[in-house]
């Protein structure tokens, strides 16, 4: 197992947190992976380790990509799960980012590698980012739910106790591994409009970064995501306006969302979990629905 974690250096860290974002089942509208990539760029994160993909993927399901280097040399890019380190601006603490692709195989071994490294680096808090498809309009801020299993952490960080039951992804398995190892962990999930599930959602990434800033007690510069979210909203609105039924449906979602905001009752984690369960049931019955899901 030790040989599967490949470290090029050991970073010097102060009160570090670990933030994870996986592409795949936990990444509706690419909200989580967009947020993770944005943080890595914003904070100037430097790669220091990765997990050898050989034992964790069915390469017929998650295929490596061939690319050209310099227009001539062919290079194979394998599914990647890499660790990056960065100082969080404005805080006397560091971040470790785990960015990659949900593995296909050996989840317990994979998460034990992550947890062992987190303990070795003296990580104080593990935060997972996820995004799911739900009945939310693209014209409003993406609702975010935050949950944890530890009662003290729930109270300290203003989160919710997770009551979700159903299928889970690598995020859920990682949280279970953290709990067994005595590592504090929290989960953030942003909702993405299901009617634009194939379009990357900077609005979900923005919501996740904003909630993460609240969680760690600092500020995250989201100017670039703000601009991207406005463009996203305009482009989706233009596409929606071309179909009267979809436009009417979006108006209904907007009215429902505004009513909830007016009543100061934003959708709960249970509400979003119910949306997920409905979409999974529809997919299993062959009625369409989301290929992205969440676990709190």
Residue 289: inside a domain, yes or no? no
Domain that holds residue 276: 2-284
pLDDT band at 2 (very low <50, low <70, confident <90, very high): low
Residue 293 lies in a domain: no
How many structural domains comprise the chain? 1
- The whole model's pTM is what? 0.85
Domain-located, residue 87: yes
Res 150: pLDDT: 82
Residue 266 in any domain: the answer is: yes
Residue 274 domain-assigned? yes
pLDDT for residue 294:
41
| Residue 56 confidence (pLDDT) | 96
How confident is the model at residue 261, as a pLDDT?
62
Read off the pLDDT of each residue in 12-16 and give the average, rounded to a whole number: 97
Residue 252 has pLDDT above 60, yes or no: yes
- Residue 153 pLDDT more than 90? no
**Residue 296 located in a structural domain:** no
- DSSP strand pairing (185-193 vs 125-134): parallel
Residue 118 lies in a domain: yes
Contact 141, 226 (CB under 8 A): no
Look at residue 167 and tell me if it is in a domain: yes
79-119 tens-digit pLDDT: 999 999 999 999 999 999 999 999 999 999 999 999 999 99
Please report, for the domain that includes residue 86, its CATH number. Answer: 3.40.50.10900
């Amino acid at each position: 197992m030790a040989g599967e974690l490949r470290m090029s250096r050991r970073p010097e860290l102060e009160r570090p947190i670990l933030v994870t974002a996986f592409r795949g089942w936990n990444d509706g509208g690419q909200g989580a992976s967009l947020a993770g990539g944005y943080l890595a760029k914003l904070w100037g994160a430097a790669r220091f380790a990765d997990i050898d993909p050989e034992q964790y993927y069915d390469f017929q399901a998650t295929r490596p990509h061939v690319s050209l280097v310099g227009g001539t040399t062919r290079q194979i890019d394998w599914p990647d799960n890499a660790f990056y380190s960065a100082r969080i601006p404005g805080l006397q603490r560091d971040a470790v980012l785990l960015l990659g692709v949900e593995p296909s195989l050996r989840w317990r071994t994979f998460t034990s590698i992550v947890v062992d490294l987190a303990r070795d680096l003296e990580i104080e808090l593990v935060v997972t980012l996820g995004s799911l498809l739900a009945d939310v309009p693209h014209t409003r801020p993406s609702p975010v739910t935050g949950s944890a299993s530890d009662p003290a952490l729930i109270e300290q960080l203003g989160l919710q106790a997770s009551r979700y039951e159903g299928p889970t992804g690598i995020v859920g398995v990682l949280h279970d591994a953290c709990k067994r190892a005595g590592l504090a962990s929290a989960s953030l999930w942003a909702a993405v409009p299901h009617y634009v599930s194939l379009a990357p959602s900077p609005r979900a990434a923005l919501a996740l970064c904003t909630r993460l800033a609240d969680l760690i007690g600092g500020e995250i510069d989201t100017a670039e995501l703000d601009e991207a979210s406005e463009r996203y909203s305009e482009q989706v609105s233009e596409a929606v306006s071309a179909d009267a039924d979809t436009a009417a449906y979006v108006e209904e979602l907007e009215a429902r969302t505004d009513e909830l905001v007016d009543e100061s009752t934003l959708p709960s984690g249970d509400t979003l979990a119910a949306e997920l369960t409905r979409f999974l049931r529809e997919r299993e019955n062959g009625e369409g629905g989301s290929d992205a899901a969440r676990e709190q």
